[in-house]
Amino acid sequence: MEHKKVTGFLTCERFVEGVGAALKERYKCVEHKDVFVVWVDKNECVIVLRYGAIVCWHVGYENLKFFKDFLRPFTVDAYQKELVEEFDYTLGSEYKISEDTIYFDNESVDVKIALSHAIAQTLKIELFEKQIAQTIEESSAIPNQLAATGKIRLNKKDISKKIGELFLVKSRVNLHYDLLDTPEYFWEYPEYEGYYEKMTKYLDIGARVAVLNKKVEVIQEILDMLSNEQKHKYSSFLEWIIIILIGVEIVMSLFEHFVL
């Protein structure tokens, strides 16, 4: 049997609201529960998901390039380097996934939508994994400093900036966390959920989400550590002001007593 290519791309944070209308005006396009099925050619299909992912089924190079150029004005916070996931697919006697090849027992659009959800999710998880890993690596010196010296060698402003950076990464994952759940699409089309579940199992999405949660907990621990250090520095600052004021008052009292 002929093998074809399915390729998923994560291009930006999300597409703007008007992307659906633009796609319908330019292409043969059908919307299925916030997913757009676009036919760029007779047998070439692209599944567009609002959170910045597209999954291309047997799309030629020229059509893919033109389609990406067409979508570019509708992107929000486009990535400098897009994330890519690629598989082969072909018709078979039963549905299975082996060695990055998908064997269809039914090559319908609904099956492609089901699998596209899983492919898009693994790309989003990969993005979160990279962002969190980089953040943890950049922050790894902080607990090391605390263990070695008993204090964090950052001033109050730097601590506030680091808290902001960590909070942004943590909130970005939490805000998009619903994207990693079973899509609402399967509430209306439960008969295709089995295709999605087998694909998510092959991509190890459940285990990766669990690890992602653990890493978010690590970021929260670093956030708590920095917040406590910030409070400690502020308390120390207030204590020194009180000590100085008391010292000034003692000096003035002595001056009045001995000089005046």
Phi and psi at residue 189, in whole multiples of 5°? -130, 65
More confident residue, 186 or 136: 186
Mean pLDDT of all residues in 83-91: 94
**173 or 1, which is more confident:** 173
Q: What class is the 4-107 domain?
A: alpha beta
* pLDDT of 108 higher than 80: yes
Specify which residues 53 forms β-bridges with. 10, 49
> What is the C-alpha to C-alpha distance for residues 187 and 199, in angstroms, rounded to an integer?
18
CA distance 143 to 128: 22
Given a cut of 60, whether residue 260 has pLDDT beyond it is no
pLDDT tens per residue across span 31-81: 987 799 999 998 899 999 999 999 999 999 999 999 999 999 999 999 989
Alpha helices in the chain (DSSP H): 19-26, 61-71, 109-139, 141-149, 156-175, 185-188, 193-202, 205-258
Cα–Cα distance between 222 and 239 in angstroms, integer?
25
Token pair listed for 237 = 């600052």
0.85 surpassed by pTM = no
In the prediction, which pLDDT does 230 show? 64
Task: With cut-offs at 50, 70 and 90, classify the pLDDT of residue 177.
Answer: low
- d(Cα 210, Cα 217) in Å, to the nearest integer? 11
226-256 pLDDT tens trace? 777 666 666 666 677 888 888 777 777 776 7
